[in-house]
Amino acid sequence: MNRRNFMLGAAGLGAAVVGGGLLARPSANGQPYDEYFRVLNEELKKNGPMRPCLVIDLDRLDHNIDQVVQTVKAPKHYRIVEKSLPSSALIDYVSKRAGTRRLMSFHQPFLNDDAVAFPDADILIGKPLPVRSAELFYKTLKGSFDPGRQLQWLIDTPEHLRQYLELAKGLGTRLRINVELDVGLHRGGVNNNQALGEILSLVAANPASLQFAGFMGYDPHAGMAVPSILGSHEELFHKGMAVYQGFADFTRDQFAEQWRQDLTLNAAGSPTYRMHQAETLSNDISVGTALLKPTHYDLDTLATHVPAVYIATPVLKAVGPIDLPALDGASRLFSWWDPNQRQTYFIYGGYWMAEYESPKGLQFNALFGHSTNQEIVNASPEVGLKVDDQVFFRPTQSEFVLLQFGDLVAVRGGKIVDYWAPMQG
Ligand SMILES: Cc1ncc(COP(=O)(O)O)c(C=O)c1O
């Protein structure tokens, strides 16, 4: 327990009580599971691992995949963001339903695994990896995946490209180079014609070692909630596409021999993929997290997507009203004041990057403090939780959380249908 929080909280409550109702007394927020979580709870209690687990709802995932497929139509292609769905089995499922073999990878160990799991994939690297990472990829590459045909390295500066050029010469191979553009996110990438010119000149001067393969312009800022004074989604999107167009025009004008029909002109990310329907420059659209819709993707641009991922964990202990160490009986003041502290549960694990989802009305107790072993949860009695029932959370993001729980639990129609290993490394 955090002693300072505890003292402050106790003092605050005392003041509220002494103030005789200056603060509005909280009303009970608890509600039992709805039908969806009632069914899932029964299934997990009967057939689940009875430890913290990551549940992926395949019916909901299908809905989200279909949203993407219906939006990203030829001549554009859908590229799966591998880091946001970090399980080969999950990626395989998505690629089959969406009919795409395009992946975006961000991590050398995952990249090597992709090359084995998806030997026919077309892979674009999503960030400029240190050249040593690239070297390690080639050293540990196994199977029939042919990087000379199937892989594009992402380059952001002439300096990085010079390092990759040396690598290519050392390996006696040709590297395909995709150039990161800054289309408004300002997370690096080329932001002026001079830098782009330097990169393209270097490529043009070394045809045996380097080949220009396209551009990548990631624009999530245009789909996230930003104060309207900074611009609407549309304004930020069009501004970004104007920048992208400027770099494309520069390349066509100044490096005509580098401009080919088969270039990968990658754009988007979950927050903006729908907006790219309205432009004709890009031909390759990245989407990952929108397929699972964790809470940070509750965006108006993703209104048609549904949450498809939950953390489920069993209640280990149901111990009644909040009873704080040292305060003992005096803790009753808290549960008297706040009906949402009349039940205390301790769950298996906790303190994840996640928000309470079901039953409704669960809350953390800051006076008691966090535990990654047995997190405290308070609620009003209406939630009706018992020992062994599951507490459900929605992760705030997917890329890290999916790696934390061992095998992912795939459910369909409220039944467990598969277990999928997360990526390693
Ligand atoms: C370069 C790039 N493209 C696309 C994405 C989109 O990923 P997601 O759809 O999972 O948000 C990301 C996410 O970080 C990214 O870095």
For the beta carbon of residue 149, count every other beta carbon within 10 angstroms: 9
Whole-number percent of the chain with pLDDT over 70: 95
Give the bridge partners for 411, in sequence order. Answer: 57, 416
Measuring from atom 5 of ligand 1, which residue has the nearest CA? 269
Report how far residue 397's alpha carbon sits from residue 86's, in angstroms, rounded to the nearest whole number: 12
The model's pLDDT over 231-284, given as tens digits with 9 standing for 90+, comes to: 899 999 999 999 999 999 999 999 999 999 999 999 999 999 999 999 999 999
How many angstroms separate the alpha carbon of residue 45 from the centre of ligand 1? 35
| Amino acid identity, position 346 | F
Tell me whether strands 376-379 and 343-347 are parallel, antiparallel or unpaired.
Answer: antiparallel
**By alpha-carbon position, which residue is closest to atom 1 of ligand 1?**
126
CA-to-CA separations, 290 to 97, 298, 394, in angstroms, rounded: 15, 9, 14
Encode pLDDT of 180-224 as tens digits. Answer: 999 999 999 999 999 999 999 999 999 999 999 999 999 999 998
CA distance 364 to 367: 9
| pTM (predicted TM-score) | 0.94
Answer whether 387's CB lies under 8 Å from 316's CB: yes
Give the type of residue at 110. F
In tens, the pLDDT along 103-120 reads 999 999 999 999 999 999
Residues lining ligand 1, judged by CB closer than 6 Å? Answer: 81, 84, 104, 126, 216, 218, 269-270, 286-290
CATH superfamily of 60-223+231-288: Alanine racemase (3.20.20.10)
| pLDDT higher than threshold 60 for residue 383 | yes
Q: Whose CA is nearest to atom 16 of ligand 1?
A: 126
What fold does the segment set 3-11+26-54+307-420 form as a domain? Lyase, Ornithine Decarboxylase; Chain A, domain 1 (2.40.37)
Q: Where are the domains of the chain?
A: 3-11+26-54+307-420, 60-223+231-288
Give residue 202's Cα distance to chain centre: 35
Structure tokens, 144: 């029939």
Q: Is the pLDDT of residue 9 over 70?
A: no
Using most ligand atoms within 8 A of CB, pick from 67, 79, 81 the residue to mutate for ligand 1: 81
